[in-house]
Amino acid sequence: MNETPYTIAIKQRGKAQEFRGTIRHGQTNMVHSFEMKKAPPPDLAKLNQRQPPALKTTLVIGLWTALLAVGMAALLVAAQNFLLRRALFNVKEAGLVLGGGILAGLISGAVSQHLFALGANSVAAQLSETDAERVLPLIIKSGQVVGWSLLGALLGFGLAFFIPNLPKFRAGLAGLIGGGLGAAAFLFALAKSGEVSGRLVGAAILGLTIGVVVALVERLAREAALIVHWHENERTVINLGAVPVILGSSPEAHLYLPKHKGFPPITAIVTFREGRVQMENKLSNSTHTLASGNKLQIGDLWIEIQTDTK
């Protein structure tokens, strides 16, 4: 039987080898043998020494989140003041919005980014490369959800300082829910368009949700309220409670009364304690207990007392 010539080339470790010979039908020849060594286990010590997330990246994310937080806080506070016919901001409120927004943004953005990045590195050190590629994106997304939820909780909690008698921890919980929805919107927009638009869409959803959920919390927590009738079909409701609701021309007054019409900085103080609504009239230096349904005229405004107690 005729022999068939063959040529085999093998390249190994950058070197090429060529093997020639002849072979007959049904015959086998060993041309070359390979020694397969088991890959050494990963050096966990080296993997655990990975560099922590860059400080610059952490600061950029923190500042970006702080910018969003200040913007959302400003819109929420301005909307509340607009409903009460107050100036959109006074000096004190502007300082609180700026300082609180920056703090909330830095905490939720930079801290969550840094901690979850460190956590991701730690987890990656214990996984194979294939598993790490699958798990790490989930960890990063979880960090983003936590960051947005924390931002919402801090904004909701902070908003309670601008709305009288709004329970702070309930407002924080409402913000937490809003933050979760904002995170979902952010991740969806991030996948569809990009990070910048994703953050803007998430911020819009977060602000809208916080406004709606906080309003719901405010209503559920209400035991008594001061209803301000601006016009026949327009009114604003202010929760009453242990925190005094101030009526007057002061910038700190919850219900602003025009100074040019003769109203002093503090015209009246209304509280709700032990099931009773009391109004301290600074003009007459007298205190009155008011019942549900009582209406009082102050200048061009009518205010009405409403309680859920019988």
pLDDT, residue 18, reads: 82
Per-residue pLDDT of the chain (310 residues; tens, 9 = 90+): 677 787 887 877 777 888 788 888 777 777 777 776 665 554 544 444 445 555 677 777 778 788 888 888 888 888 888 888 888 888 888 888 888 888 888 888 777 776 676 666 676 667 666 776 777 777 777 777 888 888 888 888 888 888 888 888 888 888 888 888 878 877 787 777 776 777 777 777 777 877 787 778 877 778 888 888 888 788 888 888 888 999 988 888 888 888 888 889 999 999 998 888 999 988 888 888 988 888 888 878 888 898 875 4
pLDDT, residue 274, reads: 84
Which residues have a Cβ under 8 Å from the Cβ of 128 and sit 6 or more positions away?
A: none
pLDDT, residue 269, reads: 92
CATH of 224-307, one of 2.60.200.20, 1.10.287.1120, 3.10.300.10, 2.70.98.90: 2.60.200.20
Provide the residue ranges of all domains of the chain, joining segments of one domain with +.
Answer: 52-221, 224-307
- Please choose, from the candidates 179, 162, 160, 205, the residue with its C-alpha nearest in 3D space to the C-alpha of residue 105: 179
pTM of the model: 0.68
pLDDT, residue 39, reads: 56
C-beta neighbour count of 56 within 10 angstroms: 8
